[in-house]
Structure 1
Amino acid sequence: MKRVLMVTGWCLAISSVWVSTAAVAADRFAQRFALELESGAAYYSVTLPAAVYAASQRSDLGDVRVFNGAGEPVPYSLEAPREFSRAPATLHSVPWFPLPPAAAGRTGAPLGVTIATDGSLRATMAPPARAQHDSDLIDLGRETRRDARVDALVVHVRDDNYQGRVSVESSDDLRNWQPAGEAQLLKVSYNGSTLSQDRIELNDMRARYLRLRWVDGAPYIDSIDAQVQTTSAGPAQSADSQREWREGIIAHAGPKTGEYFFETGGPYPVDRLRLNLPQPNTVAPAVVYSRAGLEAAWREVSSATLFRLHNGTVEQSNPSLELASDTDRQWRVVVDTRNGGLGSGALTVAAGWRPATLTFVARGDGSFTLGVGSAGAVSSAVSRADLLMGASSVVVSARLGEPLPVEQYADSHSTGKDPDAMRRYMLWAALLLAVGSLGAIAWRLARGAQAPAGAQAAGGAGGAGGTGGSVGGVPGESGATSATVKDAGADGADGQSAGKN
């Protein structure tokens, strides 16, 4: 039992050594970045750029760490961008007034329009003919409240086929006009269905009047709606302004016709995909799938009709696909090829995401660095609230610098420079000692097993000599001799029995 306990103890020691060695290996990060800080602050935050995502080997960024000048990890939090609560947007029909070319350049009330005391517009003459119609005036009226803003205009075009550019200007007094955006509108009938792109995006518009200038000819308009977003639900931030993009991803054709595969190259939390078709005048329905790795199953994440249409100087493409945040690295696009698919050329992709923010405590002296890229590391991030602990200190922005040479940290882990070198040597020495001790225990157990076997054989021979198996009254000196005498006696007895017979 004592030996069994000893063997068990050594096995546990070896297991702990292997675990400790694995933990040390998990502390090695493939990439390091310098952190540029302003001196004197207790807390710093940095928005993680694409380079950190590309170096990470975990989908949750669990292998990100911040180290001080002594190589010690410091406490940190990691947070995805906040989604502010906001009320659903609503559509409200707004009045519009077609204008002739001469009216668009007038100051004050345009030709054919009067202004009431409350600022609302009234038409005083019939709209111009289409050949004379190159702009429209829109009165947003009550939609420009203090607690509301106009996010977009939705133009319902009557034409079955229309494609054209439009520029938008805004004003509060019909005298001073400011650029407010531009867009391309599209309405195309295709295979019994209609492709349309009828939105004009506006960035938090609060002006009273809008003017649409039709660059490629004005369409017949059925109605115009303003998409109004109330702001009383909380502060608003433009998600598009915070989004980063990885451009130029090439999707390679798969073994089946209409299949295209691409990889994002990192655990980016992708929530937008732009699929750029290789040839103009292409229309094709498509389904998009993603998966984390080769062993995972494909799952559908989006579907849309992809298009790229060219009309003179105007070219329009399908808008970006909106997705739930997806950190999968491998993607697959399946295109309906019944109408020719995408044709020749490469499908290119742009992936967009909103980066996470890392906040850390500037504990210790020296330069701070960010390490990333260790598949064995487990996230040690805490929540931002727990990190700040209600402190009144201001969180100062930091900037991620250039990647540091890998050799610099490889040298620091060599003998005499690595602070963990002695620990690793002791662990390996303990491992070798444990293996040697187990070998010694096994050798002693083997010898102990042979000794009882020899003693048992000797005891059996002594018993045979005491019952007549001795020669001249001397007991057999060995098991072999006793066995021989006994066999001889048996043969003599058999001979005497045979003579009597």
Structure 2
Amino acid sequence: MSQKLNLGWLGAVAVAVTLSAGAQEKPADFTTQVPLSVTGDGPWYRLELPLAVQLSARQTDLSDVRVFNAAGDVQAYALAREAAKTDDNRTLTDVKWFPLYDAAGATGQAPSVRVQSNTNGTLVEVQPSSQLEAGEEELRGWLLDASAIKAPLRQLILDWTSERDGFQRFTIEASEDLQHWQSWGEGQVARLTFADERVEQHEIGLPGQSARYLRLLWSTPQSAPTLTSAQLVSVSPRSLPLPLVWSQPLAGSTGKAGEYTWQLPMDLSVERVQVELSQPNSLAPVTLWGRRDNSLPWQTLSSGLLYRLTQNGQDVVQNELQLPGQTVQQLKLTVDERGGGLGAEAPTVKFAVRATHLVFLARGPGPYTLALGNSTMKAANLPLSTLIPDYSAAKLATLGRAMVDGGAVVTPAVSTAPAASGIHWKKFGLWSVLLLSVLFLAAMAFSLLRKPSAKT
């Protein structure tokens, strides 16, 4: 009990110190002010910072972010950010797969099956629910047994054999009981030969949820391949990443043929890039490079095959590259023009970074204002466990919500710098604190000197 009280007392002291340190800061010290609206119960509110608002900051680590109340008082806050992702908490598991057969030419519903499993849910056998004559059966897809994986699923990796190269498209569904299925979107893999090189795409992203079984159903059953390997990547629930947030389209420039560059608004830990493919039937093997500024050499971030092809009257598109989350401010794309290139003008790109959540402790009258944009401000954010003494991930989800009022529209402050004054109040306050500290230490020393020495 006393330990909890001590933690609460220390948290209150930390909040008080933070508020005192920011007492002289005012909204006019920042180049951008954004009105906030709040819903739910306080006094803590959680805000997912829109990327357009984050880009108004002058410091990459968001040290210049503050929240003010209607009286202009700074609020205590914490930031939930995610560093560049690592593979430390990722687990790769080989899973069993079972074919799903149906009558040739059957359309509509998924094939009905009869399954046999052991006591822990592991599948032993999967058979069509009705007897199919030889030659009438058709492979519709595959059933994957993920019952041994208890963690959220982030990625599916397939390998297959097929009579011809090309694209393989299928729907992905998840279930806990093999009776009720939830859509997890669509997947696409590819195996192509380009300029005497083999280009393959094996990975499919999953939504980061748990499931005991996955069902893959091919869009065109006659082209469904024979699987030779199925693997699932799972992550610890504690390390499940924050969602990605995407930028608006960013224009680029071109130098020599097949080379395009883009300048990001600031240093960012980019995890994905989407390249606009405006022309149908585009095919481009590419390499993406990055660096922080002109004085540094380019470093390879990713490579792959981008395409927009028409098959059976539908566009098949792969325009996204996955990056390692390295901090960059400049991007360069080099294109193998044997595929026709991407045109003389640089395509626009969108980039994605992990979301940033801000939690603040509402004090004083609303409405509240988010302020950003000051290159000289020092960081003032607290750890979440200090801002919220009984903090837990479950409690975080129950906090009130704060939102940027009016979308992601930002309002420039009236003044970008504090008004000049004959008295420098910040310096005066700091010198006062230092002087009081010196006087306090002198009083302690004088008190100790006056104590009678211990008798021997």
How many residue pairs are counted as aligned between the two chains?
A: 384
* 1:374-389 mapped onto 2 (5 Å cutoff): 374-389=374-389
Q: Relative to 1, partners in 2 of residues 1:391 and 1:91: Cα closer, same or farther, differing over 3 Å?
A: closer
Q: CA deviation at 1:30?
A: 1.1
Amino acid in the other structure paired with 1:88? T
TM-score using structure 1 length: 0.64
Amino acid in the other structure paired with 1:277? L
> Which residue number in structure 1 is paired with residue 38 of structure 2?
37
Question: Aligned partners of 2:358, 2:62: CA distance in 1, in Å?
Answer: 11
Amino acid in the other structure paired with 1:381? N
> Which residue number in structure 2 is paired with residue 310 of structure 1?
309
Q: Relative to 1, partners in 2 of residues 1:380 and 1:259: Cα closer, same or farther, differing over 3 Å?
A: same
* Deviation readout 1:44-80 (Å, 9 max, x if unpaired): 2211112322211221112211222232323322230
| Higher mean displacement: 54-63 or 360-369 | 360-369
> Which residue number in structure 1 is paired with residue 150 of structure 2?
147
Q: Relative to 1, partners in 2 of residues 1:54 and 1:269: Cα closer, same or farther, differing over 3 Å?
A: same
Amino acid in the other structure paired with 2:287? V
Give the match's secondary structure for 1:260.
Answer: strand
Q: Within the alignment, does 1:49 sit opposite 2:54 as a pair? A: no
Q: CA deviation at 1:364?
A: 3.2
Question: Aligned partners of 1:356, 1:103: CA distance in 2, in Å?
Answer: 47
> Which residue number in structure 1 is paired with residue 451 of structure 2?
none
Q: Relative to 1, partners in 2 of residues 1:24 and 1:399: Cα closer, same or farther, differing over 3 Å?
A: closer
Question: Aligned partners of 2:341, 2:216: CA distance in 1, in Å?
Answer: 39
Q: Within the alignment, does 1:424 sit opposite 2:424 as a pair? A: no
* Deviation readout 1:306-339 (Å, 9 max, x if unpaired): 3214143243343632223345333222334466
Say if 2:170 and 2:216, in contact at 8 Å, map to a contact too.
no
Q: Relative to 1, partners in 2 of residues 1:103 and 1:178: Cα closer, same or farther, differing over 3 Å?
A: farther
> Which residue number in structure 2 is paired with residue 193 of structure 1?
197
> Which residue number in structure 1 is paired with residue 298 of structure 2?
299
* Deviation readout 1:395-417 (Å, 9 max, x if unpaired): 4322222456546x449x9xxxx
Q: Relative to 1, partners in 2 of residues 1:234 and 1:214: Cα closer, same or farther, differing over 3 Å?
A: closer
Higher percent of residues as helix: 1
Question: Aligned partners of 2:32, 2:281: CA distance in 1, in Å?
Answer: 44
Say if 1:104 and 1:135, in contact at 8 Å, map to a contact too.
no
TM-score using structure 2 length: 0.69
Q: Within the alignment, does 1:399 sit opposite 2:399 as a pair? A: no
2:215 to 206, 210, 215: 210
Say if 2:93 and 2:233, in contact at 8 Å, map to a contact too.
yes
Q: Within the alignment, does 1:252 sit opposite 2:253 as a pair? A: yes
> Which residue number in structure 1 is paired with residue 98 of structure 2?
95
Say if 1:245 and 1:353, in contact at 8 Å, map to a contact too.
yes
Amino acid in the other structure paired with 2:381? A
Q: Relative to 1, partners in 2 of residues 1:61 and 1:202: Cα closer, same or farther, differing over 3 Å?
A: closer
- Give the % identical residues: 22
Q: CA deviation at 1:134?
A: 6.1
Question: Aligned partners of 1:79, 1:208: CA distance in 2, in Å?
Answer: 32
Say if 1:107 and 1:174, in contact at 8 Å, map to a contact too.
no
* Deviation readout 1:76-132 (Å, 9 max, x if unpaired): 22230487974412222412144333666689855xxx6447562247768647xx7
Which structure: larger Rg?
1
Question: Aligned partners of 1:310, 1:404: CA distance in 2, in Å?
Answer: 39
Amino acid in the other structure paired with 1:144? S
Q: CA deviation at 1:202?
A: 4.5
Question: Aligned partners of 2:177, 2:382: CA distance in 1, in Å?
Answer: 52
Amino acid in the other structure paired with 2:220? V
Q: CA deviation at 1:217?
A: 3.8
* 1:446-457 mapped onto 2 (5 Å cutoff): none
Give the match's secondary structure for 1:424.
Answer: coil
Say if 2:290 and 2:330, in contact at 8 Å, map to a contact too.
yes
Higher RCO (CA < 8 A, seq sep 6+)? 2
Give the gaps of 5 or more residues in structure 1: 1-22, 414-419, 429-501
Give the match's secondary structure for 2:370.
Answer: strand
Give the match's secondary structure for 2:286.
Answer: strand
Q: Relative to 1, partners in 2 of residues 1:107 and 1:42: Cα closer, same or farther, differing over 3 Å?
A: closer
Amino acid in the other structure paired with 2:228? S
RMSD: 4.0
Say if 1:278 and 1:345, in contact at 8 Å, map to a contact too.
no
Say if 2:102 and 2:139, in contact at 8 Å, map to a contact too.
yes
Q: CA deviation at 1:274?
A: 1.6
> Which residue number in structure 2 is paired with residue 161 of structure 1?
165
Q: Within the alignment, does 1:121 sit opposite 2:126 as a pair? A: yes
Say if 1:287 and 1:334, in contact at 8 Å, map to a contact too.
yes
Question: Aligned partners of 2:174, 2:277: CA distance in 1, in Å?
Answer: 34
Higher percent of residues as strand: 2
| Higher mean displacement: 120-129 or 297-306 | 120-129
